Amino acid sequence: MSQFDAWADDAILEELGIRLRQERLNRNITQEELARAAGISIGALRNAESGGGSSLTTFVRMLRALGLLHRVEAVLPEAEMSPIELSKRRGRERLRASGQDRSQAIDDER
């Protein structure tokens, strides 16, 4: 269980903002410099660093500019399939969910 599992969404966003700001400061980069390097507005950067809602595009651009994009792989690795499942699919990529009851799927993950 992750420390984030019990946190509210706002608290997670705030913590991510704190971590992004700390990474920027550790590299001695100003907000203006990072915004320019990331191709985002200074307001979008400040919003992300303060834990305000920000787009995934802003988040990805900030990670790229900070040289941290590789860390996304650790957070959300590519899904692995068993050899049997791979042979069943024969190169077909999944396009839709199975329609399983959402609450049941969430309970199954816990």
Residue 110 pLDDT exceeds 60: no
Q: What is the pLDDT of residue 3?
A: 79
Q: Which domains does the chain have, with CATH numbers?
A: 3-75 (1.10.260.40)
pLDDT digits (tens, 9 = 90+) for 56-103: 999 999 999 999 999 988 888 877 777 777 677 766 666 677 777 665
**What does the block give as tokens for 35?**
């915004």
Return the pLDDT at 86: 64
Taken in order 90, 91, 95, 97, the sign of the CA dihedral is: positive
| 3-state SS, one letter per residue, for 59-82 | HHHHHHHHCCHHHHHHHCCCCCCC
* Cβ neighbours of 55 (radius 10 Å): 12
* Residue whose tokens read 């609450």: 103
Q: Give the closest residue to 10 by CA, choosing from 65, 44, 52.
A: 52
